[in-house]
Amino acid sequence: MRVMKILLIEDDGAIAGAIIDSLEAVQWDVTHERTGQGGLARLGQGAFDVVLLDLGLPDMDGIEVARHARTSQEVPIIVISARGEETDRVLALELGADDYLVKPFGMRELLARIRAVHRRSGHSSPRPESEIVEVGPLTVDPRGRRAQVGDSELTLTPKEFDVLLYLASDPGAVHRRETILADVWDMNWYGSTKTLDAHIAALRKKMGNPDWIESVRGVGFRLQEPQ
């Protein structure tokens, strides 16, 4: 079995040491950097399966690290931070983070989340169909992983694309929050449904009209062409 390669970007030595010990105990290869610039440089030098990213770094905000990483990499990113405010979570997820874990956390939960995002990182569409999906002016290409509204191509994170394809594949149908999380993320999802809300909010903004995705109170979401 191939050894999982983890890049840990964390300036707190005690926290980093505990994480490294836990990951190495399951025979994973951990590379540790204490600064954002160091983490980005290391990311550019080699291939990693998952990045663990602290937000409170000494040289730059972790949000900026995530932003720069996403311009050239699609490696899964798990934010690990003491900042538990919803604005921080939403911003990190909009910039392409795949998960957000608030300190303090248990190492068993961290290991479970790493395994979950790694399973999801093949960037395969949540549905097996390869045909282009069209809903009015919206076009979603599963094979090319491209989406556009009219002539405007959408710049989406891998998970935003998966959510959009999932909803667009059955337009007009109401999809339950729990079902979307189970099918698009993972059957063993450990996170809050706020993660889904953050991705829906990002999609509405990028699609140029919030009416593309309707919230059905107490149930979930429906995608349909705006009237």
Convert the pLDDT of each residue in 78-137 to its tens digit.
999 888 777 777 777 777 788 888 888 888 888 888 887 877 665 433 444 568 899 999
Q: Could you tell me if 30 and 116 lie in one domain?
A: yes
Decide: residue 205, CB within 10 A, 0-12 exposed, 13-18 middle, 19+ buried: exposed
Question: Which one of 94, 122, 150 terminates a domain?
Answer: 122
| 117 shares a domain with 28 | yes
With 70 as the cut, is the pLDDT of residue 138 above it? Answer: yes
Do 10 and 110 lie in a common domain?
A: yes
Give the type of residue at 32: H
3 state DSSP class of 44:
helix
Say whether both 13 and 118 belong to one domain: yes
One domain, residues 138 and 101: no
Q: Write out the residue range of the structural domain in which residue 140 sits.
A: 133-223
**Nearest residue to 204 (alpha-carbon basis) of 89, 64, 196:** 196
At 183 the pLDDT is 74
Residues 144 and 185 in one domain: yes
Q: Which one of 98, 122, 146 terminates a domain? A: 122
DSSP reduced 3-state for 175: strand
How far apart CA 80 and CA 73 sit, in angstroms, is 19
**Confidence (pLDDT) at 195:** 80
* CATH number of the domain enclosing 137: 1.10.10.10
Q: Per the domain annotation, does 159 fall within a domain?
A: yes
Whether residue 146 sits in one domain with residue 59 = no
Pair 26, 100 in one domain: yes
Residues 6+ apart with CB under 8 A from 1: none
Whether residue 142 is contained in a domain is answered as yes
Beta bridge partners of 214: 222
CA distance 38 to 50: 16
Same-domain check for residues 93 and 20: yes
φ/ψ region of 212 (left if φ > 0, alpha if ψ in -120 to 50, else beta) reads alpha
pTM for the predicted model, two decimal places: 0.57
Indicate which CATH number applies to the domain containing 84.
3.40.50.2300
Q: What one-character DSSP code corresponds to residue 46?
A: S
In the sheet with 146-149, reading across from the earlier edge strand, the strands are 133-135, 138-141, 146-149, 152-153
Q: Are 168 and 211 in a shared domain?
A: yes
d(C-alpha 122, C-alpha 176), whole Å? 24
Classify residue 180: in a domain, yes or no: yes
On whether residue 40 sits in a domain, the answer given is: yes
127 occurs within a structural domain:
no
Distance separating alpha carbons of residues 31 and 15, to the nearest angstrom: 14
Are 46 and 139 members of one domain? Answer: no
User: How many other β-carbons are positioned within 10 Å of the β-carbon of residue 160?
Assistant: 21
Q: What beta strand segments (E) does the chain contain?
A: 5-9, 29-33, 50-53, 77-81, 99-102, 133-135, 138-141, 146-149, 152-153, 174-176, 213-216, 220-223
Name the token pair of 48: 């990693």
Q: Are residues 214 and 149 in the same domain?
A: yes
With bands split at pLDDT 50, 70 and 90, how would you rate the model's confidence at 191? Answer: low
The CA distance from 75 to 204, in Å, is 24
Looking at residue 123, its pLDDT comes to: 41
pLDDT tens readout for residues 29-70: 999 999 999 999 999 887 899 999 999 999 999 989 988 888
Whether residue 109 is contained in a domain is answered as yes
The domain total for the chain is 2
Of 122, 150, 182, at which residue does a domain stop?
Answer: 122
